[in-house]
Chains A and B, each alone.
Chain A
Amino acid sequence: AQKVTQAQTEISVVEKEDVTLDCVYETRDTTYYLFWYKQPPSGELVFLIRRNSFDEQNEISGRYSWNFQKSTSSFNFTITASQVVDSAVYFCALIQGGSEKLVFGKGTKLTVNP
């Protein structure tokens, strides 16, 4: 079975702080894909990143960075110099190779205060 755990239910920071959102996953497959989605207050789900299990390179995209560590089954997301517009619920998700079922964590609500 596959499972995604986002232990942080809510995080509140002040603008310009760095913040890391944790994601721990469980799967028995050696081939799988990890995702992060953002859900702003408007409600839509916005794709941020996809990473496959064979690529442990960390990725940076502007103020966003992702740290994938198979040894700890984690795929953490860091926002550097947070901004108010980053306020949203962030979901980590997992799909096993050969499947089309994307399983989501419960999400972390990030509030960035001015």
Chain B
Amino acid sequence: DAGVIQSPRHEVTEMGQEVTLRCKPISGHNSLFWYRQTMMRGLELLIYFNNNVPIDDSGMPEDRFSAKMPNASFSTLKIQPSEPRDSAVYFCASSRSWGVDEKLFFGSGTQLSVL
């Protein structure tokens, strides 16, 4: 299994630009999560999907952030317009629906720098 695949690994952009982060979950997993990691706030859950439906987006910081999951094998996290304070590592994770033995599998993350 290829694991959770995120792209790009690194993104450098200028303030005001649109940024799109991409994620391919593990095949067969039907829950997908977007996390953000910063020094100040640690790992924060932004949003998660179950069977492609957004379940909880209470962690999305503001309207500049949006996430979609058009099908079971693809999700995007978009920031428009981006700001320097959005600089962070963004992780995507997936799991099967929660059960006795489940755990989250994480992608390698996207390091975002907004100048």
Chain A residues within 8 Å of B, Cβ to Cβ: 35, 37, 43-45, 47, 50, 52, 91, 95, 99-107
23 residue pairs bridging A and B, Cβ less than 8 Å apart: A35-B103, A43-B89, A43-B111, A44-B107, A45-B91, A45-B93, A47-B104, A47-B105, A50-B101, A50-B102, A50-B103, A52-B100, A91-B43, A95-B98, A99-B98, A100-B31, A100-B33, A101-B56, A102-B33, A102-B104, A104-B42, A107-B42, A107-B43
Give Cα A98–Cα B3 distance, bound, in whole angstroms: 25
- B89 near A101 with CB under 8 A, answer no
* Contact of B103 (CB < 8 Å), options: A44, A47, A105: A47
Give Cα A91–Cα B104 distance, bound, in whole angstroms: 13
Give Cα A107–Cα B111 distance, bound, in whole angstroms: 19
- A102 near B42 with CB under 8 A, answer no
Chain B residues within 8 Å of A, Cβ to Cβ: 31, 33, 42-43, 45, 48, 50, 55-56, 89, 91, 93, 95, 98, 100-109, 111
CB distance from A95 to the nearest CB of B (A): 8
CB distance from B39 to the nearest CB of A (A): 10
Residue pairs across A and B with CB atoms within 8 Å: the count is 43
CB distance from B36 to the nearest CB of A (A): 11
Give Cα A49–Cα B5 distance, bound, in whole angstroms: 22
Q: Which 7 A-B pairs have the closest CB atoms?
A: A45-B106, A104-B43, A106-B42, A47-B103, A44-B108, A100-B98, A50-B103
Give Cα A74–Cα B94 distance, bound, in whole angstroms: 26
A50 surroundings in chain B (CB, below 8 A): 101-103
Give Cα A106–Cα B37 distance, bound, in whole angstroms: 10
* Contact of B42 (CB < 8 Å), options: A47, A52, A105: A105
- B42 near A101 with CB under 8 A, answer no
